[in-house]
Structure 1
Amino acid sequence: MSQEQLSLISLILFVPFILTTVWIFLMVHIYTDKAERLLPNSRLVKDNKKLFSHMGLLGKATSNGVISYILLMPKLIAKKGLVDVTEVHNFPRKLKLILILSWGSNSFFFFALIALNVYRRHVV
């Protein structure tokens, strides 16, 4: 693959990565407090809120990401006693999809860009 093709692929991946990053910061601002209120008995959410509340938007983003992972793997986290599974099951489906798909798509573009960079450095 030529450098021009790799540059084009990088650009094609970078634009949606930036757009999803902007969306994540908007989504964090809008939905984090609502998501935290929907998991009132979660020790992990309480501890994260205490730990990251003074960090502003970046702290909210971290807390929002943790909530997304809680929603993605509730049984694993419940085994550790960090979340109440019934709260996760009662979490609104639409909000769950917004959180998981936002972080998932951003992670996909991030790791695709890393893989492309590794390919460019070591193969080409």
Structure 2
Amino acid sequence: MDADTLGIISGVIGIPMILIAIPLIYVVNAYTELSERMMPTSSFVKANIDTYSQAGLIGKVIRNGFLTMVLMMPGISHKRGIVNLAEVRDFPAGLRRILFVTWGLCAFCFLALILVGGYVNSVK
């Protein structure tokens, strides 16, 4: 494959990733505190707030990403004593869907870019 084709492929993957990052930033700003308030007894939420509250937008992204991962894997998180399963069950389905879709699409595009980069390095 020549450089032009790889550039087009990277653009086809990278541009949607940037366009997905814009709503992700909105979701992080709008829903991080709301999501954390819905899990008041969770020890990891309190620890994340204490650790990352001074980090600005990057800290909010980290807190929101951790919260989304815990919601994706509640069984593992409960076994480790991080989260109460009742709080996860009571978490609103619409908000959970928003978090999963935005983070999932961004992760999918990022993985696709990594695979294209790996292909480019293996062909050289």
Query: Could you state the TM-score of these two structures normalised by the residue count of structure 1?
Result: 0.95
For structure 1, which runs of at least 5 residues remain unmatched after alignment? none
C-alpha displacement at 1:64, in angstroms?
0.2
Amino acid aligned to 2:117: N
Q: Structure 2: how far apart are the matches of 1:78 and 1:49?
A: 19
The equivalent residue for 2:78 is 78
What value does the CA root-mean-square deviation take over the aligned residues? 1.0
Q: What residue is the counterpart of 1:57 in the other structure? A: 57
Please give the per-residue CA displacement for 1:3-27, whole angstroms capped at 9, x wherever unaligned.
2222111101001111111221111
| Secondary structure in structure 2 of the residue aligned to 1:56 | helix
2: CA distance, partners of 1:19 / 1:58: 18
User: What is the aligned length?
Assistant: 124
Any runs of at least 4 consecutive aligned residues in structure 1 with deviations exceeding 4 A, and if so which?
none
Give runs of aligned pairs for residues 1-124 of structure 1, distance below 5 A.
1-123=1-123
CA distance in 1, matches of 2:116, 2:23: 23
Distance 2:55 2:7 in 1: 36
- What's the CA shift for 1:123? 1.9
- Unaligned 5+ segments in structure 2 are none
| DSSP-derived class of the 1:18 partner | helix
Q: TM-score, normalised by structure 2?
A: 0.95
2: CA distance between counterparts of 1:2 and 1:58?
37
